[in-house]
Amino acid sequence: MPRREYHFWVYILSSRSRNLYIGMTNSLIRRTSTHREEVPGTHTARYSIHRLVYFEYFRYVRSAIAREKELKHWTREQKIELIERVNPTWEDLFLTLQEPVGFEG
């Protein structure tokens, strides 16, 4: 029986006014979709934070958790620099996402 392959992502969402939210998930499409629904009472809904502007892939959950914690302790300037290094125009990357082949999540 083949071993199950795991997928984890650390991501940054932004509002149009560049309020930021950092999170970690095992299903980037599903989690980002949830944020985009703007469920009342949530931080992301309150500030219209639903544009996926940055993400990183990890194979191991502990690595993803450690990276999320690291990014949350960065200054705002460091986070902006990270985003602009790979996404200088702050485009919403959600539409570019595809689940990994063979992934059942």
pLDDT per residue over 7-61, tens digit each?
999 999 999 999 999 999 999 999 999 999 988 888 899 999 999 999 999 999 9
pLDDT value of position 102: 44
pLDDT value of position 39: 87
Nearest to 93 by CA among 56, 42, 61, 40: 56
pLDDT value of position 52: 97
- C-beta separation of 35 from 13 below 8 A: yes
pLDDT value of position 99: 55
Give yes or no for residue 100 having a pLDDT over 80.
no
> Could you state, in order of their start, the residue ranges of all structural domains in the chain?
8-96
- C-beta separation of 24 from 9 below 8 A: yes
What superfamily would CATH give domain 8-96?
GIY-YIG endonuclease (3.40.1440.10)
Give yes or no for residue 2 having a pLDDT over 90.
no
